[in-house]
Amino acid sequence: MASPPAPPTAHRSAALSPLEQQLLDEYAKLLDNFHRLSAATATLADTPAAEIMDALRTLERKTGLVFTLLKASVYSMVLQQQLETGTGLGGKGEGGEEEDTVMGG
């Protein structure tokens, strides 16, 4: 890999307007991001597919757990709110119609 890019302050010039200098600084940040993306891509390319799949399975399990906990929290909050207002889960609403629950299905 090439040497790291110079910090944005190294590109200062009296001939540039502040807007031009800001644009050059943003390009320097973009170049740094591309270098990091290239390094991450090279690491992934060198990693065996089985190892990547194992890591993705672990991530999928953790994501599923977080989703389940989020659903349970939302359900608990909705149920608590309905109990506080006296409507109850699936009870009659103000118009006498059945209320839909958030967690239906």
Q: Flag whether pLDDT at 1 surpasses 50.
A: no
The pLDDT, as a whole number, for residue 21 is 94
pLDDT tier, 13 (very low <50, low <70, confident <90, very high otherwise)? low
Contact (Cβ atoms closer than 8 angstroms) between residue 103 and residue 72: no
Q: What percentage of the chain has pLDDT greater than the value 70?
A: 70
The pLDDT, as a whole number, for residue 7 is 53
pTM above 0.75, yes or no: no
Please report, for the chain, the start and end positions of each structural domain, with discontinuous segments joined by +.
17-46, 48-88
In whole angstroms, how far apart are CA 22 and each of 8, 13, 33, 84?
A: 9, 12, 17, 54
For the segment 61-101, what is each residue's pLDDT rounded down to a tens digit? 999 999 999 999 999 999 999 999 887 555 555 554 455 55
Distance CA 89, CA 100 (A): 9
